[in-house]
Amino acid sequence: MTRPAMAAGRWPYQRGVVALACWLGLALTLEAALHVEGLRGAALSLLGIALGLALLQSNFGFAGSFRAALERNDYTGFRAQAVALALTSTAFFPLMALGSLFGQPLNGFVAPVGISFILGAILFGIGMQIGGGCASGTLFALGGGDARLLLTLAFFVLGSAAGAAHLDYWHQLPAFPATTTQDVIGWPLALLCHLSIFGAIIWSIPEQSNIKQGTHDLPRSPWTMTQGAIALAALNTLTLIVAGRPWGETAGFTLWGSKIAQALGFDAASWPYWRGDPSALSRSLFDDMTTVMDFGILIGAAMAAGLSHRFELRTAGGIRAGLGACIGGCLMGYGARMSDGCNIGAYFSALASGSLSGWVWVAAAFAGSAVGLRLRPLFVAAHNPKG
């Protein structure tokens, strides 16, 4: 079916999706403004919506990039990630060196590297290959209509809560202190080193895309991954400025799972993860910045899918696919808590923050993906191809 024919036949339905997404986006923005310091909450909601739109339009996933590299020796996804990391690091390093901006403290994502961190990243890599997508891929594909990923998200939330309950055990294992490249050689030289590495990756891997459009087409036409990388870099930088920390996703999943566990009678407030701020469990979900942005990603992806006439509810998959979604989601959730984040918080935002843990995470998750791809034939695909 040609694009014009598809547009003519389905536009009223797609227009309804866009209208609903706009209404939900407005409701989320107003609700966030009431709970998260007014304009700050509204801004975070809009940033989440913009992230969802950029992710879906560029099909910018991480699980698919790892899979393409391992199965087809295609590293173009890593090229796009290098573009995003180079641009984001260029903004993050001097901003974090300032320490604050407009009275807002600025802190990156930095994690200690130890046995639990590495195991968690491996588990996450396995999970994202058999579960259908990484954290961001699950959110934007679900927002775009792939209801098959509801199971992946549900068990991601479950695994995150289980990981939050077991953190004491994992934190007892040996680990090196959290360190950034800036701590070792200072931020200007650290930035130069990062840009040299990312530049070498970009130079050595040619971009492969047949998508061509002018800027007037961007709201409705697919984007190249490089365009998506530029958008994600800009939006992550704005998130650092507005929220005081970079873009992350799985902390929201942990909160949702812990609230559900508490409603079922578990004493989630006593879990190691919540000892620092147990009051978060009694406050509204809209008090949580990560949750607001996660909801925004779902809405933004739906809006983008409707604008580009690509929103389509997909529910098929079967029992084996459902089992893969459950196991993969649980492994990702549990692994994310062990490694203090996912492909966004522990990799993209951590590396952009200069954390040495980001390099370890991507290597361990890549190894886990290799294992996950060996297990993948056991499950019928229930995934977004680029997730």
Q: What is the pLDDT of residue 177?
A: 95
Contact status, residue 77 vs residue 325, Cβ threshold 8 Å: no
How far is C-alpha 197 from the geometric centre of its chain's CA atoms? Answer: 23
Amino acid at site 255: L
What is the domain range of residue 146?
Answer: 3-206+222-378
Which regions in the chain score pLDDT beneath 70? Answer: 1-11, 209-220, 316, 380-387
Q: What is the pLDDT of residue 45?
A: 97
Residue 384 lies in a domain: no
Residue 214 lies in a domain: no
Q: What is the pLDDT of residue 318?
A: 81
Residue 217 lies in a domain: no
Residue 386 lies in a domain: no
Mark out the alpha helices in 36-111 (DSSP H runs).
39-58, 63-72, 76-98
Contact status, residue 194 vs residue 353, Cβ threshold 8 Å: no
**What DSSP element (H or E) covers 100?**
strand 100-101
Q: What is the pLDDT of residue 359?
A: 97
CA distances (Å), 31 to each of 36, 114, 119, in order?
A: 9, 39, 38
Q: Nearest CA to 194 among 281, 94, 318?
A: 94
Per the structure, the count of domains in the chain is: 1
Amino acid at site 175: A
Residue 370 lies in a domain: yes
Q: What is the pLDDT of residue 211?
A: 58
**What DSSP element (H or E) covers 117?**
helix 115-131
Report, in this order, helix, strand and coil percent for the chain, each rounded to 5. Answer: 70, 5, 25
pTM, rounded to two decimals: 0.92
Provide the β-strand partners of residue 314.
Answer: 146
Residue 383 lies in a domain: no
Residue 95 lies in a domain: yes
CA distances (Å), 80 to each of 87, 218, 226, in order?
A: 11, 18, 5
Give 225-254 as a DSSP string: HHHHHHHHHHHHHHHHHHHSS----HHHHH
Residue 216 lies in a domain: no
